[in-house]
Amino acid sequence: MPLGVILGAMACLLVVARCAAHQRHPLLSLLGSAVCGIAGIAAVALLAPYTGVQLPLNQYTGFVGAVLGLPGVISLLVLNLML
């Protein structure tokens, strides 16, 4: 993997961990965000035949869905539509 991708992933993890640390239940909020993100990717994959919009299922989209949650999935969809 390129060094830039690894550094970007580490920066995302640090930002998400810092935000979760300010929550009342940090592990529960991280888990809830990850579940919502993965469910969002699954919903996009299941609705792809009807909408025509699909995301490739690979390690990058899985990471974004698990770490950044639903806002990350929405960002991937916006980037997919722009590019």
Express each pLDDT in 42-63 by its tens digit.
999 999 999 998 899 999 999 9
pLDDT given for residue 1 in this prediction = 67
How many separate domains does the chain show? 1
pLDDT given for residue 39 in this prediction = 95
Question: Residue 2 is encoded by which pair of tokens?
Answer: 């390129």
Q: At what angle do helices 59-68 and 3-21 cross, to 10 degrees?
A: 20
Ranges of the chain with pLDDT below 70: 1
Burial class (CB in 10 A: 0-12, 13-18, 19+), 49: exposed
pLDDT given for residue 4 in this prediction = 85
The boundaries of the domain holding residue 33 are 3-82
